[in-house]
Chains A and B, each alone.
Chain A
């Protein structure tokens, strides 16, 4: 773990990986959107409206996955105090919030005509809205302290508290009767989605995931550059203070 938690090593490693994940995510997203809009067949019930599913479902998966990552890296930061873990958690959170918002908006567009409503307070929709508020609360808490270390610690605790919401999101459709349909892909007994629709969905999901990985690395690099910048400025201030000292003593 320590080997990867070394910032200098992370900068080298991410510089090597970044161009590949970036290129691959662009290719997969392009291919996925093409398949979703032009190749995938209309659904026997939903007709062409099923095409919303290809941008909604990956956003929903990523919303939960990114939160799990924020919680995991927060736990690592709390327990082992790895400097990179806090940076990873804080870099991932706004991306997760973006995916959650995308999930909510596209789901609403789908439900408007299919269900006959933009929004209902069933267990699935409510728990995903709670996930969105958890992301916002985490971001606000982390940035609200003068001392970055304290904000990071408070945010990490909130992130861990919020983990209870993840199983609620996943199993809400099984535990309680909801308006939202049960899982179609990750379920016992295999997917209940035709292969011609499953492939474009999986390609889109992989594209979303690689885009997330790319942006996470970019944001972590940004944070490390900022830390380096702060260190340089501090060193300069100290040097200037030191060079002024003898003159001041001479004057007095």
Chain B
């Protein structure tokens, strides 16, 4: 069982190339997503605050 997992993780000797490739993919795609959604939420909050102030 564990040896099968180890064999899989070794990626036929390419573990040092395959896993970083998937890691960097997750980092870039996840990073872009967090960045876009974060900026959207910030603008939404700013707009709500401004609308409350303008409405006073």
Contacts and interface: CB of A to CB of B under 8 A. Distances in A.
Whether chain A touches chain B in the assembled complex (some CB pair under 8 Å): yes
Interface of A: 29, 33, 37, 42, 47-49, 51-52, 55-56, 59, 94-95, 98-99, 101-102, 105-106, 109-110, 112-113, 208, 211, 215, 218-219, 221-222, 225-226, 228-229, 232-233, 235-236
B47 A47 contact: no
A229 B47 contact: yes
A95 B54 CA distance: 34
8 contacts: A48-B11, A48-B12, A51-B22, A52-B17, A99-B28, A102-B28, A218-B40, A222-B36
Nearest to A231: B50
Interface of B: 11-14, 17-18, 20-22, 24-25, 28-29, 31-33, 36-37, 39-40, 43-44, 46-47, 50-51, 53-54
Contacts of A222: 36, 39-40, 43
B17 A215 contact: no
A218 B37 contact: yes
Contacts of A226: 43
Looking at chain A's contact residues, is the secondary structure mostly helix, strand, loop, or mixed?
helix
